[in-house]
Amino acid sequence: MSVLSIETTPIEGQKPGTSGLRKTTRTFMGKHYLENFVASIFGAIGGAEGKTFVLGGDGRYFNDRAVQVILRMAAAEGAARVIVGQGGILSTPAASNLIRKRGTDGGIILSASHNPGGIDADFGIKFNGPNGGPAPESLTAKMHDLTTRIVGYRIWEGADVDMSSLGETSCGDMTVEVVDPVADYAQLMEGLFDFSALKALFAGGFTMRFDAMHAVTGPYATEILERRLGAPAGTVMNGSPSPDFGGGHPDPNPTWAKELMAVMTGPDAPDFGAASDGDGDRNMIVGRGAYVTPSDSLAVLAANATLAPGYAKGLAGVARSMPTSRAVDRVAEALGIEAYETPTGWKFFGNLLDAGKVTLCGEESAGTGSDHVREKDGLWAVLLWLNILAERKISVAEIMADHWKTYGRNYYSRHDYEAVETGKANALMERLEAKLADLPGTIVQGTTVEAADQFAYDDPVDGSRSEGQGVRVIFEGGARIVFRLSGTGTQGATLRVYLEDRVEGPEGLDRPADEALQTIIAAADEIAQIREMTGRNKPDVTT
């Protein structure tokens, strides 16, 4: 085997965040950039010698070339086997499942999640550990440290691996196993949900549209919904993955999934609608004329999970990220189970899942999951909703009305100010943090501030502490505002403002969210001086 040793120099800015390393595609295509980070992954985990990995991505631009580079680097470092999805394709939850099912030493996932794809858009890479979940902060810190000191890497010199045919081939002395990216995942879903009931649901005339957004879940949804469950052909829309996601933004929310929302609010709307994102780990749920917020979706799934065979024995507990609305907390209280509040980032849920403390978890950013994998899982959430609809035999709107009547309603919205100049965004947060101690007891927009803090999390499993996780402002009566800077963009900073107000039944449960949250929205601008500090008159995206 011919192995080349390539001299390189450290590249600044290669610091992975909670979702791995995301940069522009052209950055990753730059000289040694991808190679430096992959070499740092191998270095951080103690080398690749004799190890087995899972490899695949969401099919965005540069995915195919990056897979070939990583295979040759793994071969040069002495890896024994790499299991790769056919064509280099694997959804993030499917990769997590393969890591766990095959007992591998981890996996490398290529994706920038819901960010746009293309040569002028974004690319990403992350390492998932043997439990199938994202690398912990201690490991990503090692990766970053190595990128600042790297002086060279090794790569096998040879032809590309044929990833078009299933079966085993080789890359140097390393075995490359090309697998059907959908088969193992579909088998897992069949073990969790009542596929007989779902087949009967569609056979009875139930209608649905699933928007794959030209992204990775197209083949998964087509196989499961149309072929295995018998949904009519065409149920899956935009089902062919595209390197640039059809020129769209593969983020499943009403702003970007406009085509689906037009269908669901039209005169011939189907009974149920759903969408997933670039790498298949997020979801959007819509009923006929009824959009379900991710926070409400998590609460509904927790309240009804036992209707699905995989969760018939009940839930050990639930967890949500701190910015997610507290709707699921009410469900947990009624069920007599623990509800955990964690920082944003699926790795924090992983510890709770591995320890058996929780069964379901979710984030307001359209991510929901359970203990079946260690990632959020968009199509899984859709199938659980379908199982609930099949058992309860009522509409999405009726399920939501019943849920709010039972548990009360947490009105909720997220305002995103995208690509804010980094200096301005940091100045806003610094100013906000400096005034936290003075906020309790003050009256803002006619409502008294009860508490204000910078959220910190003490992990109940490993004892680690995570600070600086977002500013919380809590009002008397249960209203809440959360301010965070997101690390998922590649240009500037995204300021996320989370707005929540609690309403007990029976009145006031069916108001438009923007109307119900009007006072809290005004309070957020007054407290943080968003317009003054950013120059923005309104958010770029409202969810």
- Which conformational region is residue 173 in: left (phi greater than 0), alpha (psi within -120 to 50 degrees), or beta? alpha
Residue 277 sits at φ, ψ, to 5 deg, of: -105, -165
The rounded mean pLDDT for the chain is 94
Residue 22 CA to residue 112 CA, distance in Å, equals: 6
pLDDT in tens, 481-520: 999 998 555 568 899 999 999 988 777 787 888 888 999 9
pLDDT in tens, 260-290: 999 999 999 999 999 999 999 999 999 998 9
Answer yes or no: is pLDDT of 1 > 70: no
Report DSSP state, residue 229: S
Within 10 A of 260 (CB to CB), how many other CB atoms are there?
22
Sign of CA dihedral 227, 231, 234, 239: negative
Answer yes or no: is pLDDT of 375 > 80: yes
Residue 56 CA to residue 68 CA, distance in Å, equals: 10
Annotated catalytic sites, by residue? Answer: 113
**Of all residues in the chain, what percent carry a pLDDT higher than 70?**
98
Closest to 493 in 3D by CA, of 443, 433, 409, 426:
426
Reduced to 3 states (helix: H, G, I; strand: E, B; else coil), residue 170 is strand
Residue 462 sits at φ, ψ, to 5 deg, of: -110, 0
Average pLDDT value for residue range 421-429:
94
Residue 9 CA to residue 151 CA, distance in Å, equals: 5
Instruction: Retrieve residue 182's tokens.
Output: 């959908």
Closest to 355 in 3D by CA, of 364, 336, 342, 368:
342
Residue 160 CA to residue 70 CA, distance in Å, equals: 11
Sorting pLDDT into bands at 50, 70 and 90, what band is 4?
A: confident
Reduced to 3 states (helix: H, G, I; strand: E, B; else coil), residue 322 is coil
Beta-carbon contacts of residue 528 (< 8 Å; ≥ 6 apart)? 428, 431, 432, 483, 497
Contact in structure between 349 and 369 (CB atoms under 8 Å): yes
pLDDT in tens, 395-413: 999 999 999 999 999 999 9
pLDDT in tens, 323-347: 999 999 999 999 999 999 999 888 8
Contact in structure between 77 and 49 (CB atoms under 8 Å): yes
Q: What burial class does residue 457 get, using C-beta atoms within 10 Å of its C-beta: 0-12 exposed, 13-18 middle, 19+ buried?
A: middle
Residue 432 CA to residue 426 CA, distance in Å, equals: 10
Contact in structure between 382 and 210 (CB atoms under 8 Å): yes
Answer yes or no: is pLDDT of 230 > 80: yes
Residue 150 CA to residue 143 CA, distance in Å, equals: 10
Q: Token match 């965005």: residue?
A: 60
pTM summary value:
0.93
In single-letter form, the type of residue at position 123 comes to: F
- Which conformational region is residue 498 in: left (phi greater than 0), alpha (psi within -120 to 50 degrees), or beta? beta
Beta-carbon contacts of residue 31 (< 8 Å; ≥ 6 apart)? none
